[in-house]
Amino acid sequence: MCHGGESTLQGRTFHWLCAILTCGTDISGRNIAFSCSQLSKAGENDLFTVLGSPEIEPLSRLDGTPLPDGFPTQLVKAAEWVDWIDEDDEDIRLLDFGESFLRGNEPQHLAQPGSLRVPETIFTDLFDYRVDLWRVGCAIYSFLFASTPFWYLGEIEVLVFQMIGFVEELPVEWQNRELSELDRRFTERIHEPVLAPLLEVIRGLMRFLPSSRISASEALDILEVSQRGNGCKHEHDSSFSRLPLSRHITTEQPLSARNTHFPALSTMALPSEPRIWTKGEFTVSTDRSLLSVDSINAAFAQDFMYWTQPFPDDILRQILDQSFCFGVYKPNPTSDNLQQIGFARLVTDTITFAYLTDVYILPEYQGLGLGGWLLDCVDELIRPLPHLRWSMLRTSSEKSKQSYEKRMDMVVLDCGNTQEGAIMMGRKGKANMA
């Protein structure tokens, strides 16, 4: 894997030399091709034997109108080669130069995959060829850890939270550039000019420290000054003091201070440090190092796990690494004969969304209340998340449905009933605005 990272840097250098001033090549794992000399003498049928037949879907517009010129008529799913064997000597090729540009002739906007967005395109309006350096670092990370360094599900704030502290803290010159959550919501949803002054009023009133909050008279001053500028008249008690407005404008705390100094940051996302619960001789833990791939795969192979099947060990490790996992153990994590008897995992960005799946207690330990206890542990971590929009799951069992309703306040979604008998359940989080 280190060889792959070295080759990527070599390819990057070669590209600079050959393309001279060309840059911005959209580097990612999907745009880097490795040589495979083992297939040099293989026929087309041999290749399809390994990869399987291509999966093709027609591309069409929802409104039924013709596709724009230049659009493909079909989409082909990327092939998966699970049993790829690295070769001793590999050449690589960089693909997709559609976003390339000449140095000094940078475009105003750069199309980027969400999880690979480069920070200067978020915090500033300027970027240059060095966007490639960030992307090369992300690509090397992906080769080593089999996942991208950051999750992205549509929220820039979530992406920024993950970036800060990953390698370093936010640069000082960028600390005041990022909009707060209040600023973002106000900008996106409140468009009437007459309501604009209320943003400053809310900022001033909703301060953590009581001594930092503006008074009622100061709030009215903000509105009065704004209305004067708009040619409006507003009267209120003349005994209210007239104080300067600089306090309202300059007390907004920079992003890095909110993220790195407030203890509340740890409650904004699922915890990075392991959590442990005990009940008699049993333990629930989120410590990933305790998980047993062999035990989980053995459970996946049993009939009661009807919705899944065992995975190759390396694939299961990737699944666990990219999930937030709960293990149920007997007798306790410090024991030499530790046995994993249960499991649950969340597919999640750790902040806004959580999908609960692969929940089980081994049959020989069912009936002891461990399943409900496991759900309580999961719920204890996800229920308080302030930016959580949805927690969801899928089940086919009436008993499980009742347990999820009782333990986690889950409800059957309107579109959750399926012909197969399975249902989708969910619960709105604190940040759900719908």
Rounded to 5 degrees, what angle do the CA atoms 52, 55, 61 make? 175
Across the range 133-141, mean pLDDT stands at 78
pLDDT band, very low/low/confident/very high, at 240 (cuts 50, 70, 90) = very low
Is residue 338 within 8 A of residue 329, CB to CB? The reply is: yes
DSSP assignments along 316-373, one per residue: HHHHHHTSEEEEEEES-TT-TT-EEEEEEEEEE-SSSEEEEEEEEE-GGGTTSSHHHH
Q: Give the orientation angle of helix 370-382 with respect to helix 398-408, to 10 degrees.
A: 40
What distance lies between CA 176 and its chain's CA centroid? Answer: 23
Backbone dihedral angles phi then psi of residue 345, each to the nearest 5 degrees: -140, 150
Across the range 117-133, mean pLDDT stands at 79
Place of tokens 């960089």: 94
pLDDT band, very low/low/confident/very high, at 391 (cuts 50, 70, 90) = very high
Q: What's residue 102's pLDDT?
A: 66
DSSP 13: H
Q: Is 327's pLDDT higher than 80?
A: yes
Query: Per-residue pLDDT tens for 354-386?
Result: 999 999 999 999 999 999 999 999 999 999 898
DSSP 175: T
Q: What's residue 179's pLDDT?
A: 56
Across the range 26-51, mean pLDDT stands at 73
pTM to 2 decimals?
0.44
Domains of the chain (ranges; CATH) run 2-173 (1.10.510), 181-251 (no CATH), 267-428 (3.40.630.30)
> Side chain identity at 345, as an amino acid letter?
R
Query: Per-residue pLDDT tens for 198-237?
Result: 888 888 887 766 677 778 778 788 878 776 655 544 443 3
Q: Is 17's pLDDT higher than 50?
A: no
Across the range 289-316, mean pLDDT stands at 93
Tell me the C-alpha distance between 416 and 406, whole Å: 18
Of the listed ranges 92-106, 134-148, 282-296, the one predicted with least confidence: 92-106
Q: Of residues 371 and 21, which shows the higher confidence score?
A: 371
